[in-house]
Amino acid sequence: MTVADLDWNLIKSFVAVAETGSLSAASRRLAASQPTIGRHIGELEAALGVVLFRRGRRGYELTDGGAALLERGRGLSEQAAAFSRLAFGAVETIAGTVRVAASEIVAAYVLPPMLARLGVEEPGIEVEIVASNQVENLLRRDADIAVRMVKPVQNELVARKVADLQLAVCAASSYLDRRGRPQRAEDLLCHDLVGYDRSDDIIRGFAALGSIVDRHAFRIRTDNQIVAWEAVRAGNGIGFMQKSLVDRDPAVEPLLPALALPGLPMWLAMHRDVRTSPRIRRVADFLFAELKRYALTP
């Protein structure tokens, strides 16, 4: 068999094994026998001259060569499925897995209600969430879609700016009832503060206001956004959080509304090669609209 003569079923089996990690799971998905799926993988590797998987106790893991072909294989598999549906007069549906990377705070508190609504509209779409503050490398397919707080610079990526998220000085009402409510920016230094451990973003923010502080100004220090938010909610002190998040929590109060804090830009990014995928495009458009609503709703 030559590359030009490849059977679409081989590619479909390749995608199923790559996404499920085993012959047994792929066979259940495709309603085919394990030997058939295994034979398809062997035939495809022989035709391409590429080892697509590492076989081991943990199942089938993609090699670098297999990972490089996966998204293209998904596209071909979707085209084959669409061709079949069209031939049999069926209504095309959108289904499959989409991997979304986002910061810890967005992944934990912002995306879940949005994805619940997506599940009602598109029950065939499965979503994998990567909760990380690291900039996910879309070039290596760490994710299909990334919600980023910095503008992507790689030419291979397509990015849309969602909005500038407003930040707010905030604290739990329980803390403020105990310690009082600051009236001026300089009053913050008389309070317990929740800040970052290694990042100096908040320290530089204080410097811009004319106050020189170091990391010891923060009674609670953490670089995990979820821990920082929960520390504020529990009454540990005053923090600096997304205003949209603060406004949705009755236990937390925004403070010093006249204090101008820099906005936090939010971008939605994907690789150029996947933007034509129906399922990825659908999730990207849905999240763009939902995130914009989240960012701009007072």
Same domain, 175 and 128: no
Contact between residue 138 and residue 146 where contact means Cβ atoms under 8 Å apart: yes
Q: Which residues of 101-128 are buried (b: 16+ CB within 10 A; e: fewer)?
A: bbbbbbbbbbbeebbeebeeebeebebe
Burial of 59 (0-12, 13-18, 19+ CB in 10 A): middle
Of the candidates 100, 53, 96, 59, the one whose C-alpha atom is nearest the C-alpha of residue 76 is 96
Same domain, 129 and 271: yes
Same domain, 274 and 151: yes
Parent domain of 274: 96-163+265-296
**Which of 26, 54, 87 is the C-terminal boundary of a domain?**
87
pLDDT per residue, tens digit, the chain (298 aa), is 444 466 788 888 998 899 889 998 888 888 888 999 999 999 998 888 899 999 888 789 999 998 988 888 887 777 776 665 455 444 445 888 899 999 999 999 999 999 999 999 899 999 999 988 666 566 566 788 999 888 877 777 788 999 999 999 999 999 999 999 999 999 999 999 999 998 888 888 888 878 888 889 999 999 999 999 999 999 999 999 999 999 999 999 999 999 888 888 999 988 777 777 888 889 999 999 999 998 887 6
Any idea what the CATH number is for the domain that residue 195 is in?
3.40.190.10
Split into its structural domains, the chain has a count of 3
pTM of the model: 0.64
CA separation for the pair 7, 194 (Å, rounded): 58
